[in-house]
Amino acid sequence: MRAPSQPKDRDWIDGHDLWEIEIAFYVKYLRMDPEPARFRTIMRWAEAGNLRPLRAVIAKAQPISAKAVAVDPVSFICLQELLRQDRLVVKSRWSNRPPSPERFAQAVVGAFRYLEHPKQDGSEAAFKEIADELGMAESALRVAVTRVRKAKKL
């Protein structure tokens, strides 16, 4: 049985974390620099109540390095441990729940799979096949394909 802090299977697509896919999309197709793309993604996920991208960054960082904020080692280790144990929780400022950040990466991957998919059986079958594979609605996939096509034209 999986420990509560381990990611679920839907948190990965083709061996990549969903937030890595989101960052790559911002860098490649929206031509953002990698650091602002990473910041935007981490903050978007945190605002939705999900600290896994922040946890991943902190887990890789050293307590004091050229790129890390100079936090005393005890504070850094405590923060890292709280994140690892899922004890640090972000509360939403809004009464309604923001959209799940995982959906963005699913939509991007689905759109690119659709655009690269051979359409021998027609686009309807391709939409259904890809949406079922990624566990998303066909309508959401159609919207994602439209948005990715527009982003690629920029």
Range of the domain at 61: 55-89
Quote the CA–CA distance of 125 and 103 in Å, as a whole number: 21
66 within some domain: yes
12 within some domain: no
Residue 81 has pLDDT above 90, yes or no: no
For 4-102, where are the E strands, in sequence order? 12-13, 16-17
12-13 and 16-17 beta bridge pairing: antiparallel
Residue 105 has pLDDT above 60, yes or no: yes
pLDDT in tens, 31-67: 999 888 888 888 888 878 788 888 787 777 665 655 5
Q: How many domains does the chain have?
A: 1
C-alpha distances (whole Å) from 67 to each of 23, 70, 117, 153 are 19, 9, 41, 35
153 within some domain: no
47 within some domain: no
72 within some domain: yes
Helix 18-29 with 138-153: angle, nearest 10 deg: 30
67 within some domain: yes
The pTM (predicted TM-score) of the whole model is 0.61
Asked whether the beta carbons of 68 and 61 are under 8 A apart, the reply is: yes
65 within some domain: yes
114 within some domain: no
The most confident of the ranges 54-58, 66-70, 105-109 is 105-109
